[in-house]
Each structure stands twice: as structure tokens, then as C-alpha cells.
Structure 1
Amino acid sequence: MDLATLSLYVVAASAVTITPGPTMLLALNNGAYGGKRVAACGIAGAALSDLILISAVACGLGTLLIASEQLFTLVKWAGAAYLLYLATVLWRAPVRSIQVDASAVTPPTGRAAFVRSLLVALSNPKGLLFFSAFLPQFIRPDDSIVAQYLTLAIVTAAIDIALMSVYAVGGYHSMRILSGRAMRWLNRTCAGILAGLGVALSLYRRSEPN
């Protein structure tokens, strides 16, 4: 893969990734309520999902998802249900701010943050469909296909790590600046957006295969 193609992919993937989605919102929330270590674990889970999804596309599973209405529907509803579940958890979560005794609130664990971010990405069929349609545009058939997919997977994970780190740091500092009431609304705003994304996912229709 030449440098020009890779640079174009970095710009395009960054433009798509920076839009607040489920994993970005979780990074923000993890930074606010779990601190840097928990946020890092969540980011690692999302980065691993990139590697898994792009590997799945390279193995042809994206094409299978496009072709199978039953499989698509199953994954879609599982993803929508999980987003709505996370929205409920965030909505009901206790608030911790700099003015509140940290011992009074149990922060999320690193393991939970890792699993949440991983499952959110893997249970969303739009991610696999997006990679199935997006990545082949940057693959040159005259070069090693495996090496190119591996390169794109690593670059995508690096982009996600960088951008989610920005969200996580923003969440961490907001916890130290905002009042408890403001933090509660931040939490519920994230929950509301996650719920909206869950509903949107449940209404999502795949494009019919050609």
C-alpha cells in the first residue's frame, strides 16, 4: 500500500470516526467516572473490536452479513438492545464529582469498560457493513491483500485510540470542573444519545445485495 493511499485512508477514517458514536460516548463517560485507567481499558476494547471487525471483513464475513437477512436482523437487534441497556445503566448511575466523597460511589471497573466497548462495537452490524463497503476502496488487488488489510486494521485502531483518548481526557477534566448536577446531566445526555442510537439501529435497513 503506497503512502498516498494510506494518507487518504487516514483522513477519511478520521473524519468518520470523530463523529460521536457509542464507543466515543463510552470513552467520555469512562473518563468522567472511572478515571484514566478505566478509560484506557475501554479504549483498548474498542481498538480490539476494530482489529476483529476488519479481520472479519478480510475473511468475507461482511459479505455474509449483507447476504443473510436473518443474520443481519439478529445482530442488529442484539446491538440495539445492548445500547438501550447501556443507556439505562448510565441514566441510573450515581454521580461522582470533585465535591463528592469518591468512596461513596463505586466507579466502573477496567474490565467492565473493556467488555462494554468491545461488545458495543461487535454487536453493531453497521460497523461491519461500513468496513465491508469502505475498506475495499483502498485495497490494491495487485499487492498482498492480507498485508493491506492488516495495515488498515492497525491504522484504524490507532485512529480510534487517539480520538477516544481526546474524549476520555475531556470526560476526566469535566468531572473535576463541573458540579454534581452538571455531571448528572452529562451522564443523562450520554444515556439519551445512546438510547437514540439504539432506536436508530433498530430501524436501520441494510442495502440489498446486488
Structure 2
Amino acid sequence: MTLEIWSIYAATVLALMSTPGPSQLLMLSNSGAHGFRRSLLTAAGDLSANALQMLAAGLGLAVIIAASGTALTLIKWAGVAYLIWLGIRMIGKAKPGDPDLDDVKGNVSLGSLWMQGFLTSAANPKAVVFFAALFPQFISADGPFWPQFLILSVTYIVMDGAFLSAYGVGASWVAARFKGTAKVWIERVGGSFMVVAAILLGFKSISKQ
């Protein structure tokens, strides 16, 4: 793979990531509520799902996954319901005078934060088809497949991780400067972001049916 081809690919990925999606909104929510460091587990969960989706695309499973519509639809809507439930619970717990509000960072396990990120990304199984369509545009038939595939995959994950981190740092910075009643509204906004992320996933599913 030439540097020119890689540069075009990086620019394409940058354009695709320029608009915030469900994963970015979830990162905003968790970073504002639990702090940037803990929210990195959410980013790790999202990127883990991306890595599995890329691997599936690389192994030629796109056709199989596209054909398994019923099972994938169930997985997607389960993820949507889970995120809505988490968001509503987060909004409901944000009450003035709550003694646990200032200690909210320790109330959610790291495993739960990771799972939220994983489910948000995995709830879009058609991403496998997306990667299967995107990668061949930048892979040369004259070179070995897997080294090129690895470069494209790592580039995507690094760029996606950078975007998620930027959203997380911004949300954490804002949340750290609000206390008391303002903190309640940060929690409510964060829960709302999570619900919006789930709704976006739902609309994506409906629009592709």
C-alpha cells in the first residue's frame, strides 16, 4: 500500500467520523458522569466491537451476516433497549441533594462501562458490511491481503479512538467545573445523550429495513 492510497483512506475515514454518532454521544455521557479515565473503558468496548466487525469482514463473513437478518435485528434492538434503560435510570437518579451525586464516578463498574461501549457499536451489525465495502477500495490485488487489511484496520481504530478521546476530554472538562445543582443537570444531560444515542441506533435500523 502506497502512502498516497493510505492518505486518501485516512481522509475518507476522517470525513466519515466528522458527524457525531451514537458512540460519540455515549462517550460524552459517560465521560461527563464518570470522568475521562473511566470512560476510556467505554471507548475500549466500542473499539473492541469495531475490531471484531473488521475481522469478520476480512474473513469474508459479510454475506453470512447480511443474510442473518432476524438474529441481527434482535441483537440491535436489545442494545437499543439497554441504552435507553441506562439513560432513563441516569436521569432519574439525578436529584438535587442526592449525597451520592458527587461520588457517582464509583457507582458504575468498569465492566459495565466497557459493555455499554461494546453494545453501542455491536448493535450495528451491518457495520461488517460497511467495512467489507470500504476496505476493498484501498486494497491492491497485487499485494498481500492481510498486511494491507491490518494497516486499514489499525488506522481506523486509532482515528476512532482519537475522536472518542477528544469527546471524552471535553465532556470531563465541562463536568469537573460544575457542582451541586449544576451537577444534577450534567447528569440529566448525560442521560439524555445516552437515550439520543439509542434512538439514533433505532432510526438507523428502521431506515435500512
Q: Cα distance, 1:180 vs. partner?
A: 2.9
**TM-score (normalised: structure 1):** 0.85
Report what 1:183 is aligned to. Answer: 186
- Which of 192, 195, 208 aligns to 1:192? It is 195
Aligned residues: 202
Report the more deviating stretch, 79-88 or 173-182.
173-182
Alignment of 1:25-104 (within 5 A): 25-66=25-66, 68=67, 71-93=68-90, 94-95=93-94, 102-103=102-103
2:74 maps to a residue whose letter is W
Report the equivalent of 1:144. Answer: 144
Q: Name the % identity.
A: 24
Query: Take 2:104 and 2:40, find their aligned partners in 1: how far apart are those partners?
Result: 23
Q: Normalising to structure 2: TM-score of the pair?
A: 0.85
- Give distance in 2, aligned partners of 1:161 and 1:190: 19
Q: 2:22 and 2:87 mapped to 1: Cα distance?
A: 12
1:110 equivalent in structure 2: 110
Runs of 4 or more above 4 Å deviation: none
Could you say which residue in structure 1 is the equivalent of 2:12? 12
Residue ranges of structure 1 left out of the alignment (5+ in a row)? none
Kept in 1, the 8 Å contact 2:22–2:201? The answer is no
- Mark the CA change 1:31 to 1:188 in structure 2 (over 3 Å): closer, same or farther: closer
Structure 1 pair 195/107, CA: closer, same or farther in 2 (3 Å)? same
Post-superposition shift, 1:105?
7.0
Segments of structure 2 that go 5 or more residues without pairing to the other structure are none
Return the alpha-carbon distance in structure 1 between the equivalents of residues 114 and 104 of structure 2: 23
Q: Which amino acid aligns with 1:194?
A: A
SS in 1 for 2:176: helix
